[in-house]
């Protein structure tokens, strides 16, 4: 789908006319029922209802005719100036392009924005360099110039106005609204297949590596069967084998072996998981692009959702060192017409040394705000669990006054450790009346019912992760950042493998699983578009340093992976139409 | 419409998207291409009897390949240690597959090619290795060939891919569109280097030349493809300043080399009758034939490009059968029926047009002529009438 300034739908299109413009010429009998999706196209990644197909074909023909009259230049503008969304929804995509071509000079709007921005951007750059002179306090923000959002030419996300949806009749632009009408069995099957998919990327298929993996798995199996004597022998054997390995494989094996040993001997990590977790995450942030990607793509969505608002409020469920916000603040500062008033509510766990980490972050951001000329307000909330909060504590202002965004990076999965927690939090989020909810999560199923399955999934996931750290060339081997990043990941491994019950908080789930949950809780997807995709890809090329990172679009969400294995997924949501 | 509706929609969608991605100045909108391309991850859990996993063959170039294997008979889920378990049966064909996309589009993990490779596994009881070669215009000739060659060497050196019968890897090269072109060129290199390739399977292979052939003129813009876009892709792939008679594009053209006396593998070449570059594809088959090489030519009169992407037409099944026989065939020769006989017949009867074998008597005449042309004594003649009678 392509962003449109004007949300006029083609009037007069209805399912009745679809039937009338029936298959042209000879058409093979489709075996699936008319209300379902075309199964053959579905396998190839395109969701088209069989009943929509003649209409889609007709639109493709119309586009072809338009192409014929405008030469190649005419059509390539659709590639460069316009933003595309959710290519799997062929019907919507084709429709958008038709509308785009029919509207006169749509690209002029975007040109105007980027021209204005270019001017104001150079001014702000000077301000930002002043900020650098502030010295140490701002050191942690030095990365952000590399991914300034600027003003995004064209929309990063697909916004829907509830008004136009109400009156639009049978067909909807948002593919999410097509979902309930899909053939249920196919959706379920697809979801199930997707859920149980195991993407594997092997990098070094050496004999020793295979034996190591085999031994680890055998050990895990022994643990599952509570054959602790065997498990003990095997975990020691893993230690021996690991020594002869090199690089990522050795490190991963060592962490998994340690985690298994803890499980076998029932020695759970004594330190609070929160100790140094912020610092470890910062090193992880420096070493590889996963966090930067999450921040960047979430910010794209938030920035777009805040368009036109004079006061904005971001509720960050995972404030940590606040690394996500300078870039957003800077982009807001660059908005044509000036920045909105920016309020940030940061939530974080209690610190073991009782320092007020949240306020320190708030203060640093306030300083930045001063230098870039953004009115700034900060509140910090200390909470053991997000479920302890509710909307009334956060001083939510009416939506006409202040637009709200709720953001969470790698936090929501922790709520799955306690029954009812995620549901409570999702309800609270709805009560906050957000314009947009953005979250990033690990793309993995580390929350299955069986220990062995979790173990295997995690082994593969973290092997891929460690391999990307190793190969990306950004860091010198065993540089401090790299080691700290590995410790950061190692803690997650330990939690997934050694802990149970409420202690096991690293309960990662896949995007498919999160989608189902958000859908049931009354949220609709907000699609991230080709513009966000492109900028994320360019970001990676700029400083990821490794050729293997890939961004993939998946039904309106963006995933970052190492080679073909997705590892992180960012998605954006809004309250479902009819909910408020 | 000569194709099923969903095929028409699929190919038209590609055509539309691809038009947006090619810029008149020869550059390519790679970000949008990657955004639009529908990709699927590998899946080590068997689906319909096939599981897959990706391997980084060359860290330096990030060259990746997707391996597809038949699941074990009990359908059990392979563990990570099982992925590179030695192949079971006496002889297991290993098909190195190069996806199409005119050298610029698609990837090994594109949904259309993931699906096709899975079908090949089931159909041929083979292991399929789909190579994620570097693409134009960012990486021109000979990058794709270099990557293909790296993949071939890698496959050939995997102990777990050796057939137990003779401890050798039974390699076939296959590809559609640009992938077919790559297969040809990798085979050439294999011959020079002494790695044995048992056969080439080329589906609508991408070849061309400076001359405008009759089929190009006749079919330009008629079935999804235009000469203008073909020219664009060659300009994007070939070295700057080279024209379409470069041997990568026109292997048997004025700058081409003869394969006479060369131990080039036998080939299965499928040509779609509605593909505008068919004259070049037929010329390719003819070039192989002239060099005394075995060629099985499948001329599918009513097929368009991409017919093999969806299993909703007879051509699809015909080609799948042919490929299956080809990689399991121990025949020393497969009858080159349509190609040789047609000009003979046209001259003889003057009435029969290409592929218009309507009656049984036409077919008998074919067989007689064929028998006279070939030494049927030494070779088992297999007639795949369906393909040519369409």
A370 touches chain B (CB under 8 A): no
Whole-number Å distance between alpha carbons of A210 and B182: 32
* CA–CA separation, B364 and B163 (whole Å): 41
* pLDDT tens-place values along chain A, 580 residues long: 433 333 333 333 333 333 333 333 333 444 444 558 999 999 999 999 999 999 999 999 988 887 765 555 556 677 777 889 999 999 999 999 888 887 744 443 333 333 333 332 222 222 222 333 333 332 333 333 334 444 334 555 555 443 333 333 322 233 333 333 333 333 333 444 444 678 888 876 566 677 888 899 999 999 999 999 999 999 999 988 888 887 888 899 999 999 999 999 988 765 555 667 888 888 898 888 999 999 999 999 999 999 999 999 999 999 999 999 999 999 999 999 899 999 999 999 888 777 788 999 999 999 999 999 999 999 999 998 999 998 999 999 998 899 999 999 999 999 999 999 999 999 999 999 999 999 999 999 999 999 999 999 999 999 999 988 887 665 555 678 888 899 999 999 999 999 999 999 999 999 999 999 999 999 999 999 998 999 899 888 876 666 789 999 999 999 999 999 999 999 999 999 875 4
Q: Is B45 on the interface with A (CB under 8 A)?
A: yes
The nearest CA of chain A is from the CA of B28 a distance in Å of 10
Which pLDDT does position A145 carry in this prediction? 35
Burial class (CB in 10 A: 0-12, 13-18, 19+), A148: middle
Band of residue B125 on the pLDDT scale cut at 50, 70, 90: very high
Q: What does the CA dihedral A319, A324, A326, A331 come to, rounded to 10 degrees?
A: -130
Contact B42 A60 (CB under 8 A): no
The pLDDT of residue B213 is above 90: yes
The pLDDT of residue A201? 83
Instruction: Map tokens 């309020």 to a residue.
Output: A343
B107 assigned to active site: no
What pLDDT does B268 receive? Answer: 98
CA B96 distance to own-chain centroid? 10
CA distance A548 to A558: 16
Residue located via tokens 């399912």: A15
Tell me which residue in A44, A193, A456 faces B38 most closely, judged by beta carbons: A44
Q: How close is the nearest chain B Cα to the Cα of A41, in Å?
A: 7
Residue from A306, A326, A311, A288 nearest A149 by CA: A326
In 3D, which of B5, B310, B313 has the Cα closest to residue A54?
B5
Residue from A40, A555, A487, A554 nearest A283 by CA: A487
Q: Phi first, then psi: give them for residue B17, nearest 5 degrees.
A: -60, -45
Cβ contacts of B310 on chain A, cutoff 8 Å:
40, 44
Q: What are phi and psi of B123, to 5 degrees?
A: -70, -40
- Asked if A125 and A54 touch (Cβ cutoff 8 Å), the reply is no
CA distance A162 to chain B (A): 27
Q: Quote the pLDDT of residue A357.
A: 86
Q: Is B311 on the interface with A (CB under 8 A)?
A: yes
**What pLDDT is attached to residue B2?**
73
Q: Are A551 and A559 in contact (CB under 8 A)?
A: yes
Q: What mean pLDDT do residues B56-68 have? A: 91
A551 at the B interface (CB within 8 A)?
Answer: yes
Q: Active-site residue among B65, B106, B130, B177?
A: B177
Residues of B in contact with A54 (CB under 8 A): 5
pLDDT in tens, B309-338: 999 999 999 999 999 999 987 433 344 444
Residues with Cβ within 8 Å of A335's Cβ and at least 6 positions away in sequence, in order, are A151
B71 to chain A, any CB pair closer than 8 A? The answer is no
Across residues B172-190, what is the average pLDDT? Answer: 98
Say whether residue A510 is in contact with chain B using an 8 A CB cutoff. Answer: no
Burial of A23 from C-beta contacts in 10 A (0-12 / 13-18 / 19+): middle
Do A24 and B1 count as a contact with CB atoms less than 8 A apart? yes
**pLDDT: which is higher, B54 or A109:** B54
Collect all residues of chain A within an 8 Å Cβ-Cβ radius of residue B83.
200, 202
Per-residue model confidence (pLDDT) at position A547: 78
With contacts defined as CB-CB under 8 Å, which chain B residues touch A29? none
């Amino acid at each position: 789908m392509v962003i449109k300034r004007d949300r006029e739908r083609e009037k007069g299109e209805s399912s009745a006319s679809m039937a009338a413009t029936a298959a042209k010429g000879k058409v093979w009998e489709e075996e699936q029922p008319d209300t379902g999706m075309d199964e053959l196209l579905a396998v190839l990644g395109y969701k088209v209802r069989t009943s929509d197909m003649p209409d889609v074909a007709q639109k493709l023909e119309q586009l072809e005719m338009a192409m014929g009259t405008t030469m190649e230049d005419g059509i390539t503008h659709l590639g460069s100036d316009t933003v595309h969304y959710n290519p799997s929804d062929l019907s919507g995509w084709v429709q958008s392009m038709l509308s785009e071509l029919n509207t006169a000079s749509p690209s002029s709007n975007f040109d105007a924005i980027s021209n204005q921005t270019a001017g104001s951007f150079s001014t702000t750059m000077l301000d930002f360099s002043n900020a650098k002179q502030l010295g140490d306090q701002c050191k942690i923000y030095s990365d952000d110039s590399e991914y300034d959002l600027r003003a995004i030419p064209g929309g990063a996300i697909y916004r829907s106005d509830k008004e136009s949806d109400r009156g639009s009749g049978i067909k909807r632009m948002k593919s999410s609204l097509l979902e309930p009408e899909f053939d249920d069995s196919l959706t379920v099957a697809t979801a199930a297949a997707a859920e149980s998919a195991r993407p594997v990327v092997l990098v070094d298929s050496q004999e020793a590596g295979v034996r190591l993996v085999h031994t680890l798995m055998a050990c895990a199996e022994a643990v599952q069967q509570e054959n602790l004597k065997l498990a003990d022998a095997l975990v020691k054997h893993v230690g021996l084998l690991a020594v002869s390995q090199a690089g990522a494989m050795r490190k991963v094996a060592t962490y998994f072996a340690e985690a298994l040993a803890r499980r076998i001997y029932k020695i759970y990590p004594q330190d609070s998981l929160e100790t140094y977790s912020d610092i470890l995450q910062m090193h992880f942030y420096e070493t590889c692009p996963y966090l930067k990607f999450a921040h960047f793509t979430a910010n794209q969505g938030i920035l777009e959702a805040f368009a036109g608002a004079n006061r904005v409020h971001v509720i960050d469920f995972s404030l940590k060192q606040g690394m996500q916000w300078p870039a957003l603040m800077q982009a807001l500062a660059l908005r044509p017409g000036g920045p909105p008033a920016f309020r940030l509510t940061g939530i974080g766990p209690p610190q073991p040394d009782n320092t007020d980490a949240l306020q320190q972050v708030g203060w640093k951001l306030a300083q930045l705000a001063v230098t870039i000329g953004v009115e700034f307000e900060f509140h910090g909330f200390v909470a053991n669990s997000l479920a302890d909060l509710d909307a009334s504590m956060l001083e939510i202002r009416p939506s006409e006054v202040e637009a709200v965004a709720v953001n969470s990076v790698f936090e929501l999965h922790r709520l799955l450790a306690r029954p009812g927690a995620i549901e409570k939090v999702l309800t609270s989020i709805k009560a906050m009346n957000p314009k947009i909810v953005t979250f990033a999560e690990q793309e993995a199923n580390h929350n299955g019912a069986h220990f062995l399955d979790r173990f295997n999934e995690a082994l593969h996931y973290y092997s891929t992760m460690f391999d990307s750290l190793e190969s990306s060339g950004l860091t010198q081997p065993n540089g401090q950042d790299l080691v700290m990043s590995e410790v950061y990941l190692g803690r997650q491994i330990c939690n997934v493998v050694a802990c149970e019950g409420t202690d096991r908080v690293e309960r990662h789930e896949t995007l498919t699983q999160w989608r189902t949950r958000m859908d049931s809780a009354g949220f609709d997807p907000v699609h991230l578009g080709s513009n966000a995709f492109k900028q994320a890809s360019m970001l990676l090329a700029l400083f990821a340093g490794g050729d293997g990172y890939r961004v993939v679009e998946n039904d309106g969400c963006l995933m970052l992976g190492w080679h073909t294995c997705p590892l992180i997924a960012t998605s954006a949501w809004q309250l479902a139409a009819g909910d408020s | 419409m000569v194709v099923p509706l969903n095929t028409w929609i699929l190919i038209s969608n590609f055509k539309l998207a691809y038009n947006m991605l090619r810029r008149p100045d020869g550059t390519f909108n790679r970000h949008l291409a990657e955004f639009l391309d529908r990709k699927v991850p590998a899946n080590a859990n068997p689906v319909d009897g096939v599981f897959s996993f990706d391997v980084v063959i060359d860290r330096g170039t990030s060259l990746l390949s997707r391996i597809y294997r038949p699941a074990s008979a009990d359908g059990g889920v392979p563990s990570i240690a099982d992925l590179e378990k030695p192949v079971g049966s006496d002889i297991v064909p290993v098909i190195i597959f190069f996806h199409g996309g005119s050298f610029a589009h698609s990837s090994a993990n594109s949904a259309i090619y993931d699906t096709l490779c899975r079908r090949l596994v089931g159909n041929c009881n083979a292991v399929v290795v789909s190579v994620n070669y570097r693409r134009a215009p960012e990486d021109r000739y000979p990058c794709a060939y270099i990557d293909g060659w790296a993949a071939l060497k890698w496959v050939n050196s995997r102990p777990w891919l050796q057939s137990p019968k003779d401890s050798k890897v039974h390699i076939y090269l296959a590809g559609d569109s640009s992938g077919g072109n790559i297969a040809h060129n990798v085979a050439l290199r294999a011959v020079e280097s002494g790695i044995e390739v048992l056969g080439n399977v080329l589906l609508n292979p991408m070849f061309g030349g400076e001359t405008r052939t009759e089929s190009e003129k006749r079919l330009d813009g008629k079935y999804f493809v235009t000469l203008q876009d073909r020219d664009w892709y060659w300009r994007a792939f070939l070295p700057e300043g080279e024209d379409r008679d470069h041997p990568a594009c026109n292997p048997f053209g004025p700058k081409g080399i003869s394969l006479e006396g060369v131990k080039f593998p036998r080939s299965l070449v499928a040509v779609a009758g509605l593909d505008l570059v068919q004259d070049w594809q037929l010329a390719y088959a003819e070039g192989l034939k002239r060099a005394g090489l075995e060629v099985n030519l499948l001329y599918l009169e009513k097929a368009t490009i991409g017919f093999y992407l969806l299993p909703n037409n007879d051509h699809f099944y015909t080609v799948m059968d042919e490929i299956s026989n080809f990689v399991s065939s121990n025949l020393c020769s497969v009858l080159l029926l349509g190609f040789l006989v047609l000009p003979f017949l046209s001259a003889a009867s003057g009435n029969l047009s290409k592929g218009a074998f309507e009656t049984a008597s036409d077919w008998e005449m074919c067989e007689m002529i064929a028998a006279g042309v070939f030494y049927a004594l030494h070779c088992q003649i297999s007639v795949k009438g369906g393909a040519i009678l369409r």
